[in-house]
Each structure stands twice: as C-alpha cells, then as structure tokens.
C-alpha cells in the first residue's frame, strides 16, 4: 500500500514522540520504499518496529539474538547463518552483520526483505497473505515439526491492534511539519 510520506512520518512520531523530525523523515522514506517493494503497508512496519524496539536503532535483545529497530534475529542473516556459534563466538563476518543491523536503514531494509519472505511462506503453507498470518511467521510462530505455520499469538494481535490504532490516529491528526 502506498502511503504519503507525511502519514508515515506522523505514524513514527506517534510511535516515538521524542524522535527528531529529520530522523523520522529519513526512516519514513526508507520504510515507504521498502514497503512498496515488498508489498506491505508501511504503517505495519511502524507498528512492528514500535513493538520490537520502541524505535531505538541500537537495541539489542537481552539474549543477544535480536538487533536494531525491527529486532532482526542475526543468526538467520548473511554470514551469521553459517557461523558455528553466532551468539557466543561470532566470526568477523557475523560480527559485521550484527553491526550492520544496528544501522537503521539496513535494519528497515532487512525487515522488508523478511516480511516478503514470510508473506511467501504463509501463502505457500496456508494459502493466506493475511497480515496476522505473515506477521506471526515474522515473529517466529511457525512449528514445522507439528506442521503448523503462521500461527498468530498474543504478540501478533498486539501489533495488529496497534497498527489499527495508528491508522485511525494518522487520519485524525495532521503530521507535525512533515512533507509529502
């Protein structure tokens, strides 16, 4: 879904009111591009990031597995995928992947790519492209041994509800100083 830049900026400002306007605009531009490329609503990306990191680009999960805005699980990305121990003793290439995931633009682009992959997986496994299905898959709610795929859980519905709230709010309130 194509949304005007000012709407995406407004959503980011709602998700993190203390973010600098220019930073929100940079993130919004990348998110709009990535959402268009991977065919998802950018407001969903805003909701995912708010849930995952609160729009804090340098976030690393307590267990050291997830990085950046969208809390990307590094062990499944690039050089970390083939690393012997990406969590406790990552190789140099895996360390670089982890550093790159702390770059906001790289993280948003990686999130978009993963969303595209999870949409495709859910379509293949369940026949559905429903938001709650692919979001559940993105959140790791697949159970291959039980042949259960794209199973929404509490966190899935939290993001879905927040996204719906965002959509209502951006319709009501004009963006602060945002441009299209």
Residue 129 lies in a domain: no
Domain hosting 69: range is 59-102
Domain membership flag for residue 132: no
d(CA 81, CA 75): 5
Instruction: Evaluate whether residue 75 is within a structural domain.
Output: yes
Query: Is there a domain that residue 8 lies in?
Result: no
The residues, any chain, with a CB within 8 Å of residue 62's CB and separated by 6 or more, are none
69 part of a folded domain: yes
User: What's the predicted TM-score (pTM) here?
Assistant: 0.93
Q: What is the domain count for the chain?
A: 1
Rounded to whole angstroms, the Cα distance separating 166 from 180 reads 18
The whole-angstrom separation of Cα 80 and Cα 97 is: 7
In a domain, 82, yes or no: yes
Residue 65 within a domain: yes
134 in a domain, yes or no? no
Question: How many of the other CB atoms lie within 10 Å of CB of 138?
Answer: 24
The tens place of each residue's pLDDT in the chain, 180 residues long, gives 789 999 999 999 999 999 999 999 999 999 999 999 999 999 999 999 999 999 999 999 999 999 999 999 999 999 999 999 999 999 999 999 999 999 999 999 999 999 999 999 999 999 999 999 999 999 999 999 999 999 999 999 999 999 999 999 998 865 554 444
């Amino acid at each position: 879904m194509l949304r005007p830049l000012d709407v995406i900026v407004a959503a980011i400002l709602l998700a993190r009111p203390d973010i600098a306007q220019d930073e929100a605009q940079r993130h919004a531009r990348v998110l709009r591009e990535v959402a268009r490329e991977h065919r998802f609503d950018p407001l969903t990306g805003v909701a995912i990031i708010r849930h995952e990191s609160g729009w804090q680009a340098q976030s690393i999960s307590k267990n050291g597995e997830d990085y950046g805005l969208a809390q990307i699980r590094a062990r499944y990305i690039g050089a970390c995928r083939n690393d012997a121990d990406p969590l406790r003793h990552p190789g140099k290439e895996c360390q670089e992947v982890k550093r790159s995931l702390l770059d906001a633009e790289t993280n948003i682009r990686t999130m978009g790519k993963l969303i595209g992959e999870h949409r495709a997986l859910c379509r293949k496994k369940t026949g559905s492209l429903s938001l709650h299905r692919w979001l559940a898959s993105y959140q790791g709610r697949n159970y291959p041994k039980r042949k259960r795929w794209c199973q929404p859980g509490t966190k899935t519905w939290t993001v879905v509800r927040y996204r719906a709230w965002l959509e209502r709010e951006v319709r009501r309130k004009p963006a602060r100083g945002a441009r299209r």
